Amino acid sequence: MAAQEPTSTPPAPPVSLAALLGRKDLGLRRLAGPADAAIHWVHTSEMADPYPYLLGGELLMTAGVQLPDPAHYVERVVEAGAAALGFGVAPVYDTVPAALVAACERHGLPLLEVPPQTPFTAVARAVWRLMAEARHRELRRVTEAQQSLAVAAARPAPVPAVLGALASRLGGRAVLYAADGTPYAAAGRELPGTVSLALMELAGVVGHRPGGPATASGEGDGLRLAAYALGGGDGLTLGVATESREPGDHTIAGVAVVLLSLLTAPHRGADVSARDTALVRLLLGADVEEASRPLGPGPWTVVHARGGDGTPFAAPSLGAALGTALVDAGGGGTGSTGGGGAGGGAPGRADAEAGSSEPHGTPVSVRLLLPASSPVTAQPGWTLGVSAPVAAGDLAVGDAQAARALRRAEATRTDLVRHRPAGFGGLMDAAEATAYARTLLAPLHEPLTETLRTWLSLHGNWDRTAVALDIHRNTVRQRIARCATLLAMDLDDADVRMELWFALGRL
């Protein structure tokens, strides 16, 4: 098996090996392999063959407890797709074995010497902190870009303004092409003739013809090229050329695509325009009662969704499939109820503030507002939670209902779940039940809580739980055993399982 990219996209940008080596407090020293690599996570293993336990992209830490054949060991680590190998000197070896250094150099695997005074956990903690810092920087960059694009869209000449803001934020060129392939508007630095032609040809690849892709990417003269089909139905295409491509660039371009689609869309009916206006005001945090007046009395349906293919068009495509042009696409997570909480704000505000800056290929979380008469059906690649029909003034209630329905859908691996009465759970005081659940489950922490939730939802099946969480079945057994120990409960008892399932549903 050849070295490959990580099979599961991590929740944060990877950490460069150079940044980790720059942490002087760790005392790490590179002995072999290239000077830099992308580290997605840290894993410690003393197995003679760690291959079955690796996902790819790891910094694998070992003290060489079982190292009979360094050359074969390195071959297996490289086959698993590990990013680098960290070797701790002492207590097994006083120095890093020369055969291991030679094998890593031969296979191009970065090898780090970990001094005796540096625990493996300190290295892992440093990686997580570097990831958090990178994630924070990226969220901030995307949020600032979203704000500048929104301001540009409100200017007297919104289309050139949005293109200018996009080109400025991405540090390149943004071109809007007409249906016949000719430039409609452009902003940013001028491109060489060959690159302009390549970008125009790339824009011609995407479109709304049956089976045609919504996005395309390429390279030209050292620049990264990307093209996006607008959703207005008139064949317009956005082309972008930049020097580099960061994970958040897809989200920033996606926001621009949605805005440009709305700005260039043909005139629509007054009822749809009123709904769009009201939804925009709700997403910007306006008072629910005031903003919902243009909606009419309703009833309305709130939909929470998670999934998609990770492209900037995932959320708009879902909105188009369900009959609404505006969606709230955010990375705040499915558990957030946005303004639907005690503050009484609008659905989606929390997610809108968090920003939809998930890396390309990562499932996104979106919210939609639909007339109750609009049918909501399961959509490929998405998990949906649907509220009961609510009046315009009760959108916060519908938002909370949709959030709970989505959590049930994810727990039961169901494509679509609609809000239903709480059943027996509704017979108890919600606040009291939540307080009890928190006390009961206080000894647990992530990932134990999520493992227990998934394991219970799959009726205690080890293999299916391992597949659902993308971990080894032995890891599932270890985590469940740890849960039983921390909770001092017999997880083979059906009554105990039921109580824990109800408690997890209250978190």
pLDDT digits (tens, 9 = 90+) for 20-60: 999 999 999 999 999 889 999 899 999 999 999 898 999 99
- Of 367, 393, 420, the one marking the end of a domain is 420
Question: Which H or E element spans position 498?
Answer: helix 494-505
* Residue 277 and residue 410 share a domain: yes
Same domain, 274 and 415: yes
Domain-located, residue 136: no
If asked whether residues 216 and 293 sit together in one domain, one would say no
Residue 36 lies in a domain: yes
Residue ending a domain, among 397, 420, 443, is 420
Q: Which residues contact 269 (CB under 8 A, 6 or more apart)?
A: none
Pairing, β 58-62 against β 41-44: parallel
| Contact assessment for residue 330 and residue 351, using Cβ atoms and an 8 Å cutoff | yes
pLDDT score of 276: 59
pLDDT of 281: 58
pLDDT at 82: 94
250 shares its domain with 319 = no
Q: Give the model confidence (pLDDT) of 399-456 as tens digits.
A: 888 888 898 888 888 889 888 766 666 556 667 778 888 888 888 888 899 999 999 9
Q: Are residues 378 and 450 in the same domain?
A: no
pLDDT at 403: 87
Give yes or no: residues 166 and 236 share one domain. Answer: yes
Q: Is residue 30 in a domain?
A: yes
| Structure confidence at residue 423 (pLDDT) | 61
Of 371, 402, 420, the last residue of a domain is: 420
Is residue 409 one of the residues assigned to a domain?
A: yes
Q: How many CB atoms lie within 10 A of CB 132?
A: 11
Q: What is the CATH number of the domain that holds 250?
A: 3.30.450.30
Output the pLDDT for position 380: 83
Predicted local confidence at residue 102, as pLDDT: 96
343 C-beta neighbours (distance < 10 Å), count: 12
8 inside domain: no
Cβ count within 10 A of residue 477? 14
User: Whats the size of the chain, residue-wise?
Assistant: 507
Low-confidence residues of the chain, pLDDT below 50? 1-10, 331-361
32 plus 111 within the same structural domain: yes
Helix axes 249-264, 158-170, angle to 10 degrees: 170
Query: Is residue 147 situated within a structural domain?
Result: no
Whether 119 and 161 share a structural domain = no
Q: What is the pLDDT of residue 85?
A: 96
Range(s) of the domain holding residue 250: 155-264
| Residue 171, pLDDT score | 87
Contacts of 446 (CB under 8 A, 6+ apart): none
Residues 403 and 440 in one domain: no
Helix orientation angle between 494-505 and 430-440, rounded to the nearest 10 degrees:
120
> What residue has token string 């001094």?
115
The answer to whether residue 191 is domain-embedded is yes
Residues 213 and 227 in one domain: yes
Euclidean distance between CA atoms 268 and 261, whole angstroms: 13
- The pLDDT, as a whole number, for residue 104 is 96
Please state, in angstroms and rounded to a whole number, the distance separating the CA atoms of residues 101 and 109: 9
Using alpha carbons, select from 399, 272, 274, 294 the residue that is nearest to residue 348: 399
CATH number, position 97: 3.40.1390.20
Please give the tally of structural domains in the chain.
4
Q: What share of the chain is helix, strand, coil (3-state, %, to 5)?
A: 45, 15, 40
pLDDT for res 113: 96
Q: What is the pLDDT of residue 135?
A: 83
Do both 178 and 238 map to the same domain? yes
User: Taking the model in full, what pTM does it have?
Assistant: 0.47
Q: How far apart are CA 261 and CA 251, in angstroms?
A: 15
- The answer to the question of residue 5 being in a domain is no
How far apart are alpha carbons 169 and 5 in whole angstroms?
28
Residues 308, 220, single domain; the answer is no
